[in-house]
Amino acid sequence: MAERAILVLGAGGHGKAVLDLLLASGDFVVAGVVDAAPRVASVLGIAVLGDEAAAPRILAEGVGDAHPAIGANAARLSAGARLEAMGFALPALVHPSAVLGRGATLGAGAVVMARAVVGPDASIGRLALINTGAIVEHDCVVEEGAHLAPGVVLAGGVRVGARAMLGAGAVVLPAVSIGADAIIGAGAAVIADVAPGLTVTGVPARAV
| pLDDT at residue 78 tops 70 | yes
pLDDT at residue 22, rounded to an integer: 97
Same domain for 25 and 64, yes or no, is yes
pLDDT for residue 3: 73
pLDDT in tens, 42-61: 999 999 999 999 999 999 99
Residue 123 and residue 151 in one domain: yes
Classify residue 166 by burial, with Cβ atoms within 10 Å: 0-12, 13-18, 19+: buried
Residue 14 annotated among the catalytic residues of the structure? no
Q: What is the tens place of the pLDDT at every residue in 100-116? A: 999 999 999 999 999 99
At 2 the pLDDT is: 59
Same domain? For 97 and 78 the reply is: no
Annotated binding site: 71, 147
The boundaries of the domain holding residue 41 are: 4-91
* Mean pLDDT taken over the chain: 97
Q: Using the 3D structure, point to which of 35, 58, 91 is the last residue of a domain.
A: 91
CATH number for the domain harbouring residue 103: 2.160.10.10
* pLDDT over 60 (residue 12): yes
Catalytic residue from among 14, 67, 95, 138: 138
Whether residues 59 and 136 fall in one domain: no
Q: Which residues are annotated as a binding site for acetyl-CoA?
A: 147
For CA atoms 69, 30, 46, 58, the dihedral sign is: negative
The total number of structural domains that make up the chain: 2
Specify whether 96 is located in the same domain as 32. Answer: no
83 and 105 both lie in a single domain: no
CA distance 34 to 107: 23
Whether residues 44 and 131 share a domain: the answer is: no
Q: Which residues are annotated as a binding site for substrate?
A: 71
Specify the pLDDT at position 1. Answer: 47
